[in-house]
Structure 1
Amino acid sequence: MNFVEELTWRGMLHTIMPGTEEMLNKGMASGYIGFDPTADSLHVGHLTQIMTLIHFQRAGHKPYALVGGATGMVGDPSGKSQERNLLSEDVLQHNLESVQKQLTKFLDFNSGANSAEMVNNYDWFKNFTFLDFIRDVGKHITVNYMMAKDSVKKRLEGDTGMSFTEFTYQLVQGYDFYYLWKNHNCTIQMGGSDQWGNIVTGTEFIRRKDAGEAFALTTQLIKKADGTKFGKTESGAVWLDPERTSPYQFYQFWLNTTDVDAKAYIRIFTLFDREVIEALEVEHDAAPHTRALQKALAKDITIRVHGEGEYEKAIKSSEFLFGNVGIEFLNELNEAEVLALFSGVPNFTVSLAEIEAGINVSDLLAVKTSVFPSKGEAKKMIAGGGAAINKVKIATADDIYTADTLINGKFLVVQKGKKNYFLIVAE
């Protein structure tokens, strides 16, 4: 497997430094990508870089995942319009441990010579004094060189400017590359296209300080076909941590991609080979309504991030909402999973004591909640057989509901028609 060719046919490659492919073709090389722990979870925006490291390892090379315990304290100005908040050491340490744990799901850390390794740049920066840094690093890169970078120019031209802290970020990242080149024989740094300036600062620093040679490669920044940002939904970023984004929501994110985006994403985010992907495209084009690409994409990435069990649960959750899975399925879910499943539908809270005492269904749906705008509307819909609680049609507008009808002792699932769901939470 040729690493550069693999990235190219998958539509991932953006920029490559001359000589990089020739260097990689000589045999096993070591290379790295950095991940700044600005949160306690990676999100789907990081998956392109994770996939890059996976392909790098599958091509026989040795991947290093650098978690930025030091750079996370500084903040990368690339692609940012304003300076981000600096994190405390306690928060940073928590984030580091969480990110490290997630990365172990994707890379093989026990594959012999090309086993993946994880490094933390705090380990080599923690005893680096400021005077040592400006003497040993700062003197090799001119201010003119640093100010020519797009990430710096854009910020200096903007309203917010740039602090000295962020201005020095490219020197810190450049030294990371030098350290890994010097101590771990890392000859290539990879990253998103917005990182090109920082990466080549590293190659330039290696050349100027030790007359060494190093290489660079960047991947495309992923956007949706309509030009909007990939990985964002109405509720925010799509995270890899199931506590932040439930496996069901994660699965739905991929399942709901457009046909155009699915054709790009299945190349970037799965390990399917070319023949399999092209066969799926033929199947999809013959019957787009079956969503063969989206289903294959959502299944593959959900299983790799969350496991087979969570994928099966996500399928059942979809079938519960849109198919024939019965209400008993909700008993298999914990409270957080139920809330996640119904996060996109109107939620209402009612008094548990009132339900325990017995509550008239018309009052429940039109007074205590606003499932219906009025009791008259509720009675009309119930009489027409168009309202259900817990997937059982409401018999009459005078029915009484008690605690015995609560799912998991807490929830009532209301349907107005077949597709309009509401969740009532008893507290």
Structure 2
Amino acid sequence: MSVGMPGPPAPALAADQQQAPAKIRRAVYAGGVGNFVEQFDYGLYGYMAPMLASSFFPGGNSAATVMSTYAVLAVACVFRPLGGTLVGRWGDRVGRKKALLWTIVMMGVSTALIGALPTYQQVGFLAPLLLVLIRTFQGMISGGEYVGAVAFIMEWAKPHQRTYYTSYASNSCFLGILGGAGVAALVSTAFEQPVLESWGWRIPFLAVLPLSLLGLWLRSRIEETPEFMRETEGGTNIVKAPVREALREQWRPILVFCGASIMLAILSYTWVTYYPEYLTSNVGLTRSQALLSNLISVAVLMPLLPLAGKLSDRIGRKPMLIIGALACIFLVPLAFAIGEQGSFTAAVGSQLVYIVPEFFLTGIVTTCSAELFATRTRFSASAIAYNSSFSIFMGVTPFIAALLVDGFGTIYAVWAYLAAAAVLALVVVTVFMKETYRSELGANKFA
């Protein structure tokens, strides 16, 4: 495959970006805050799964009730492609900013509603039904939030520094997960177990509402992206049916992204959502130890992601993805073996090994979710691609991981699941993917 040579950016766009670094920073903050809210909720839901299980499902087999909680997460993610497609269509027609203003408000409200739901002991089976409905709505909204935020940041980014800037979108996700882990650990430490299971778990969910209002304020202060304004100047190039056009003209990059991104979804959400529960239930660490070990590894990865972004902007997307896939195959089982030693130090060490493939994959997959697609249908195409692969596997992975460990009795069954996705990614990236790191942002890379 040939590597596209850099195309000259529109003079007005280049000048605007060179003269207004403060605007780019505001765009990063505005785009990232929604990712933070989304992943704060997602991480919190995963970390608090045992408490949620006892509140919303009938008692009995503890493993079954926790898996039921993960199943709710999986069901919600199944609806992300539908929601992402609807939000993406809106974002391509009326602009990134307007779509993202609505998504952050609706995410905050739906997360806060979880904290106000009645329990199974109070209303019976109505409790899990309400939980499923709210998570489903939230999943639909989240399906457009992340890809829209990434497109927003990338369309503000300086040419040939796209992954560096979008690495902060990835960091906002990890910061949200870090916040979810920290709050979960704080609440778990501050309250006795009966209080935590009774009402203490509600506090972090309710706290998301003011966070979303802060995000609304940040997004209201930034203009529409220069790239979108240039592409739709005068309203003459706005696509009437962006979803249909994306499916007709960009189906190849959609399939390429799907094949390349599944491994990262499995890698990341085994780590941040399931692994702390595994360390607690199967290895013997206390819940606070498991959460703290996870928090440390996330904190170590975050400052490394901008460095990974700079490396990718220099050597390309494909080499990073290939190295990351190989690391999934060969380093993850080593990480699991270290964690099986059963100490807090071993838990930290295992996750420090685990973040090596995260370093090579996280920001690059984020960049590809926008960079593979043309500007006029970027929101719609990236929503279809991201939610048809990453989001679905993000949602089902904690449930599948718990099912695999329960069925096979070993964490290495999860590694086999990840390795299969990594082999698929290696084939897709090496054979079908075109290099995009020096291509013009607005063009269809597979035309």
TM-score range, shorter chain: under 0.3
**Of the two, which has the highest radius of gyration?**
1
Instruction: Tell which has more relative contact order, 1 or 2 (C-alpha 8 A, sep 6+).
Output: 2
TM-score of the two chains, using structure 2 as the length reference? 0.24
Structure richer in helix, relative to its length: 2
Structure richer in strand, relative to its length: 1
